[in-house]
């Protein structure tokens, strides 16, 4: 049996390799577009190639966590692509950190900024679960997907100021929690 429009998600979740080939055929142009947009400033085609492979491998390995139809699937893999590409960008561009390009008002380098840069972000994910759903989305967009505050505002139909405000309060909350949980030296 071959993968087609109707069954590829299911086949992917069952680890059928032809489903992986199917999504490469279907979505490589899109994945390349997203990756290229984020990584082209690095001027290194090798990194772009590596990142694209990594995106598909992540989709393959985490497919069982996906729920939804093929429109949702497209959104999901776009988010993964953005997440992985931003990740690559940060790793390969330590000098001009993406986060510092847009300084938040009234907040300097904080604990989460440091946390973000840690290879393993599981702690941050733990902390994100403590936030309200809207703030959770804002934080994911901001810190995992590298969205600018203005874009987040447009997507959520909120003002830029209110996003800034939510990020500020959220950071404060996370900061307190993180201190309480005592994550230690890595944050200083």
Partner 1 sequence: MKDIYELLNDLDIDEHEAVEMEVDELEKAKVKRALKESIIQKRKRRSWRKPVAAAVMVVGLSAATLGLTFPAYAVSLPVIGNIFKFLDVGKVGVYDHYQEYSTEMNLTAESNGIKVIINNAIFDGETVAITYSLETNQDLGESPYLRGLLDMKGSIGGAGGSKITKVDSNRYVGLITETGFFKNEKPDTVKMNWQIEGMVVQENQKEIKGKWSFVFALEATEADTRVVGQSSELDGVTVQIGELSVTPMSFIVHYDQLVSEEIRNKWHGVDVDIEVKDDLGNLYSGKGNGGTGDNKGYHTSWSKTFERLDPNAAKLILTPHIRLYEYTSENFGSAEETKDGPKSAAILEKSGKGQEQFTMEDMVIDLGNLK
Q: Which positions lie near partner 1, rule CB under 8 A? A: 17, 20-21, 24-25, 28-30, 32-34, 36-37, 49, 52-53, 56-58, 60, 62, 65-68, 72, 74-76, 78-80, 82-83, 121-122, 125-126, 128-129, 136-137, 140-141, 144, 155
55-84 burial by CB neighbour count: b if 16+ within 10 A, else e? bbeebeeebeeeeeeeeebeebbbebbbbb
User: How far is it, in rounded angstroms, from Cα 44 to Cα 20?
Assistant: 26
Identity of the residue, 28 or 161, whose beta carbon is nearer to partner 1 in the bound complex:
28
Compute the least distance from the CB of residue 4 to partner 1, in Å.
Answer: 17
User: How far is it, in rounded angstroms, from Cα 117 to Cα 119?
Assistant: 6
Compute the least distance from the CB of residue 30 to partner 1, in Å.
Answer: 5
Identity of the residue, 56 or 111, whose beta carbon is nearer to partner 1 in the bound complex:
56
Compute the least distance from the CB of residue 125 to partner 1, in Å.
Answer: 6
Q: What is the dihedral of CA 73, 75, 77, 82, to 10 degrees?
A: -170
Identity of the residue, 30 or 181, whose beta carbon is nearer to partner 1 in the bound complex:
30
Compute the least distance from the CB of residue 111 to partner 1, in Å.
Answer: 19
Identity of the residue, 29 or 184, whose beta carbon is nearer to partner 1 in the bound complex:
29
Compute the least distance from the CB of residue 35 to partner 1, in Å.
Answer: 9
Joined together, the tokens standing for residue 147 give 């969205």
Compute the least distance from the CB of residue 14 to partner 1, in Å.
Answer: 14
47, HSE (Cβ side, Cα atoms, 13 Å): 20
CB of 39 within 8 A of CB of 91?
no
Joined together, the tokens standing for residue 26 give 């279907």
Identity of the residue, 111 or 124, whose beta carbon is nearer to partner 1 in the bound complex:
124
CA angle 5, 72, 154 (to 5 degrees): 140
Identity of the residue, 96 or 119, whose beta carbon is nearer to partner 1 in the bound complex:
119
């Amino acid at each position: 049996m071959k993968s087609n429009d109707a069954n590829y998600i299911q086949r992917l979740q069952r680890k059928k390799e032809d489903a992986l080939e199917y999504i490469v055929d279907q979505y490589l142009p899109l994945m390349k577009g997203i990756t290229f947009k984020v990584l082209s400033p690095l001027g290194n085609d090798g990194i772009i190639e590596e990142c694209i492979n990594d995106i598909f491998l992540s989709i393959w390995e985490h497919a069982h966590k996906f729920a939804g139809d093929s429109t949702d699937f497209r959104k999901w893999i776009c988010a993964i692509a953005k997440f992985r590409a931003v990740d690559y960008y940060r790793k390969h561009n330590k000098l001009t950190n993406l986060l510092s390009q847009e300084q938040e008002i009234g907040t300097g380098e904080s604990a989460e900024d440091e946390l973000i840069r840690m290879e393993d972000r599981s702690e941050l994910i733990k902390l994100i679960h403590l936030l309200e759903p809207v703030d959770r989305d804002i934080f994911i967009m901001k810190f995992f997907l590298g969205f600018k505050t203005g874009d987040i505002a447009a997507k959520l139909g909120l003002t830029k100021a209110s996003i800034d405000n939510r990020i500020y309060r959220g950071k404060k909350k996370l900061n307190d929690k993180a201190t309480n949980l005592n994550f230690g030296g890595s944050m200083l």
